[in-house]
Amino acid sequence: SLHDALPISKRWNKYWDAYNGDYFKNENLPDYKSDLVSNYIFSIVETIRPIMLDNNPKFQVMPRQPEGLEYSNDLQEALSYEWDREKMNRKLYKELINTLVYGTSIFFLPWDSKEKNVKAIPVNPFNIFPDPLATSVEDAEYIIYASYKNVHKLKRMFPKKADKLNGGNVNYSELVQDNNRNAQIDNQVLVLEVWTRDEDTFKYPNGRVITTCPELGIILTDKPNPYDDGELPFELIKDYDVPNKFWGEGEIAQLLSPQKHMNELNNAILDNAKATANMPWIIDNNSGIGVGKITA
């Protein structure tokens, strides 16, 4: 089940709460205790993010042989055009939050047969389930792309299966792209797109793609991988590459502990200041000084 494949999501949720500052809030503290949260993690991530794109990243075409030099400029122009057409700088800037917080950003790179070009679709890491033995996209036996789709949209995409499609609620809120979105959404269907390197070299020499609705028990399509190289159309961007691991590691893992202790230290200083910086006065009832007349 998908729940069995989601243990890493608990760590990612903790990282996201730390980025937002929610992880450090303690609602069980008594009123007299300070609960200051100075979120240095957010500041650090948002300082790093624009610097990473400061040089306006682009492809650079370098010919391997001298005879390829005359074609390198044309190829450079083509790649620059594709980069700008897909608005990659804008997409990268947004997805760098996932890179720095979770450790990995993912792009799905399908070929759009109608528009005759490649799409660069950002994918929430929560929506990707790789082969557990994989260390990269290249050596993964399969990658599952899970998402929720509106039942009406799904019926238009697969009219032959329309009579079997029924919408329901979102049961796996981890798969919803917007973390603030209500988990109880009507007319949604869980769709799994399974990209696998099938062992049947005769029927599926380049692998296969299975699109299914597991909660409805329906297979929408089962077809060969449309790409001649047989590769899986996903690209990972990692903050720190962890050896022999599919997922990278981000900044939060290293910043979480010092951030927590800095908050504890700051609050201890505040509590101490409240208790000692303004010492209380004990006033005798016969002193002639009214209540509240001495303020410091």
Per-residue pLDDT tens over the stretch 56-101: 888 889 988 888 888 998 999 999 999 999 999 999 999 999 999 9
* 104-108 and 234-238 beta bridge pairing: antiparallel
The tens digit of pLDDT for each residue in 171-206 reads 887 786 544 444 446 789 999 999 999 766 678 888
With cut-offs at 50, 70 and 90, classify the pLDDT of residue 3: very low
Q: Position of tokens 């109608």?
A: 114
**Which spans in 86-161 are helix H?**
88-101, 151-157
Q: Is the pLDDT of residue 107 over 80?
A: yes
Burial of 220: CB neighbours in 10 Å, binned 0-12, 13-18, 19+? buried
Using the predicted structure, report yes or no on whether residue 132 has a pLDDT greater than 80: yes
pLDDT higher than 50, residue 267: yes
Q: What is the pLDDT of residue 131?
A: 94
The confidence score (pLDDT) of residue 55 equals 85
Hey, is 41 helix, strand or coil?
Answer: helix
- pLDDT at 296 (0 to 100): 59
Confidence check: pLDDT of 295 > 80: no
Q: What mean pLDDT comes out for the span 97-124?
A: 93
| Tokens describing residue 137 | 């996209």
The strand pair at 121-123 and 128-130 is best described as unpaired
Q: Which candidate, 76, 74, 86, places its Cα nearest to that of 118?
A: 86
User: Torsion over CA of 35, 40, 42 and 46, rounded to 10 degrees?
Assistant: 160
Q: Other C-beta atoms within 10 Å of 249: how many?
A: 18
